[in-house]
Chains A and B, each alone.
Chain A
């Protein structure tokens, strides 16, 4: 007579074994570690006030870390699914009878439930965010960041609990049955352990190749599931259009002026005024938090030159304001080290042509090694507090 709910030892496959779970878990842990560290970097880069200034060099730094963030998260999807498959029988393990053991068992079950919930949450919300799909009501950035800490914390606890088993499993032969669950058959199944491992690495590889072209240009042709092909006005994709920002009229108005202010000194510059100033050209990537990036050549006036005109001393943080009426990044802080870097421009041109309206016409901020959301478009004001 069979129980309606399976027992752990009803699952007999040799593939659902610690030997497999430890090996896939190792790579899954590496992916989560990379995503966590690069996530922290991205979060810090977006902080308006940084105790240690985020560096302006290398200019492609953020492009690489955020590209890695999304690639690691994407590669983790097949790894997580196969890992959960290999340990699924544990879901049905019977709790021990003795109270002390029961408490420990319960605590471990809770930690694993938290880990699995947080891991699925991070991967699913992160993936949806890359495609700008928000079928939820929580604040994405803050919540993805909070749950990242929960996930990495639960992962550390899980590794601590399983450490002896992980060590034994990684040290023994893949086909050893010494650590197998009771009831595991010794007979060969549909796939060998090595076969499933190789297939899992293959699945992670295909997932990476199919999506990574958003940050690695030479992969664009094969990244058929990438959220962007790389095409766009002036060969650079856009994240927020002028229409969405509600700036179509104000950005193209003849009355447009860029205000630069420091203390009591203020300057009001029209587009021809800006064009008349000494122009600088810089090759800087635009790298979005959603993982995509594109290299581009920008021409405009160094922010530092404008600050000099109003007597703002070196080492001043700058408040950057966009024409857009609302949005979390309408007003941002450009830290002093970015403002003083000669490659940080109020850009007027992209690829030798005036900025298209969706790229921030009449002028936008472009700075090295900076998240795309902080590369403010449709600039209206640069302000330094006295």
Chain B
């Protein structure tokens, strides 16, 4: 029952959105459709294969058990960089309005990259230090494997 109501509500909402869009005329619809399709194509045909390619290359360049921190870095900085495109590009800058896009965005972005990379390096060293302090004879649970996993078991097939 819940599912049927959800489908009903969903189809109604989407149809209403379609109606609103239709009311704006054909030219508006065409331009919208280009962006709707363009977004999916950019993701499915460009971004997703690119992440596969990066993962493929990384697995061949760096040992799997050392890749964790860099995967964390990619997840933290990749989306952040994408969402920063409008400000990094400064496309909306207007000479008559100095209050808009009034930061040095490349410096800010660079700062965030440095913070994330330093954070990852610190976390990695802290974890190594923690591991090195675990006495071998006492059974202790492995520290939270947020960055590196599978180190004790050697490389395993987990890829794509």
**Contact residues of A with B, CB < 8 Å?**
10-14, 16, 74, 77-78, 81-82, 84-85, 88, 91, 113-114, 116-118, 120-121, 123-125, 127-128, 130-139, 142-143, 145-161, 163, 185, 187-192, 194-196, 198-200, 202-203, 206-207, 210-211, 224-229, 231-233, 237-241, 243-244, 358
Are A200 and B67 interface neighbours, CB within 8 A? no
The interface residues of chain B lying within 8 Å CB-to-CB of A78 are: 75, 79-80, 83
B79's nearest neighbour on chain A, judged by CB, is: A78
B6's nearest neighbour on chain A, judged by CB, is: A160
Are B35 and A138 interface neighbours, CB within 8 A? yes
Report the Cα distance A58→B145, complex, angstroms: 46
Partner of B39, one of A120, A146, A210, A227: A120
- Within the complex, the shortest CB–CB distance from A222 to chain B, in Å, comes to 9
Within B66-81, which residues are at the interface with A (CB < 8 Å)?
A: 67-68, 71-72, 75-76, 78-80
The interface residues of chain A lying within 8 Å CB-to-CB of B48 are: 84-85, 88
Report the Cα distance A133→B93, complex, angstroms: 8
- Within the complex, the shortest CB–CB distance from A98 to chain B, in Å, comes to 22
Report the Cα distance A237→B98, complex, angstroms: 9
Are B149 and A189 interface neighbours, CB within 8 A? yes
Are B43 and A120 interface neighbours, CB within 8 A? yes
Are A150 and B18 interface neighbours, CB within 8 A? yes
Are A156 and B13 interface neighbours, CB within 8 A? yes
User: What total of chain B residues lie within 8 Å of the partner, measured CB to CB?
Assistant: 79
Are A81 and B31 interface neighbours, CB within 8 A? no
Report the Cα distance A216→B3, complex, angstroms: 38
Report the Cα distance A134→B150, complex, angstroms: 47
The interface residues of chain A lying within 8 Å CB-to-CB of B146 are: 191-192, 194-195, 198-199
Are A163 and B3 interface neighbours, CB within 8 A? yes
Report the Cα distance A210→B36, complex, angstroms: 27
Are A156 and B6 interface neighbours, CB within 8 A? yes
Q: Mind listing 21 A-B residue pairs with CB under 8 Å?
A: A78-B80, A84-B43, A114-B14, A118-B36, A120-B42, A121-B35, A127-B83, A127-B86, A136-B35, A142-B24, A150-B13, A150-B21, A156-B10, A159-B6, A187-B156, A187-B157, A191-B146, A191-B149, A225-B109, A227-B101, A240-B97
Known: A145-B20, A160-B10. Contact between A207 and B80, CB under 8 A? yes
Are B40 and A116 interface neighbours, CB within 8 A? yes
Known: A81-B78, A116-B40. Contact between A147 and B149, CB under 8 A? no
Report the Cα distance A128→B85, complex, angstroms: 9
The interface residues of chain B lying within 8 Å CB-to-CB of A202 are: 72, 75-76
Are B24 and A121 interface neighbours, CB within 8 A? no
The interface residues of chain B lying within 8 Å CB-to-CB of A243 are: 96
The interface residues of chain B lying within 8 Å CB-to-CB of A127 are: 83, 85-86
The interface residues of chain A lying within 8 Å CB-to-CB of B92 are: 128, 131-134, 227
Residue B7 at the chain A interface, CB threshold 8 Å: yes
Report the Cα distance A117→B31, complex, angstroms: 14
Report the Cα distance A229→B102, complex, angstroms: 6
The interface residues of chain B lying within 8 Å CB-to-CB of A156 are: 6-7, 9-10, 13
Are A148 and B17 interface neighbours, CB within 8 A? yes
The interface residues of chain A lying within 8 Å CB-to-CB of B64 are: 189-190
Partner of A157, one of B6, B150, B153: B6
A80's nearest neighbour on chain B, judged by CB, is: B79
The interface residues of chain B lying within 8 Å CB-to-CB of A137 are: 27-28, 31
Report the Cα distance A114→B10, complex, angstroms: 12
Partner of A224, one of B13, B18, B20, B112: B112
Known: A143-B24, A156-B13, A224-B109. Contact between A210 and B158, CB under 8 A? no
B40's nearest neighbour on chain A, judged by CB, is: A117
Residue B117 at the chain A interface, CB threshold 8 Å: no
Known: A188-B153, A190-B64, A228-B102. Contact between A153 and B17, CB under 8 A? yes
Partner of A189, one of B20, B78, B97, B158: B158
B58's nearest neighbour on chain A, judged by CB, is: A190
Query: Which 6 A-B pairs give the minimum distances between C-beta atoms?
Result: A224-B108, A153-B14, A149-B17, A156-B10, A153-B13, A189-B158
Residue B61 at the chain A interface, CB threshold 8 Å: no
Report the Cα distance A310→B35, complex, angstroms: 50
Residue B53 at the chain A interface, CB threshold 8 Å: no
Are A190 and B158 interface neighbours, CB within 8 A? yes
Report the Cα distance A10→B47, complex, angstroms: 18
The interface residues of chain A lying within 8 Å CB-to-CB of B42 are: 120
The interface residues of chain B lying within 8 Å CB-to-CB of A244 are: 94, 96-97
Partner of A10, one of B20, B72, B91, B160: B160
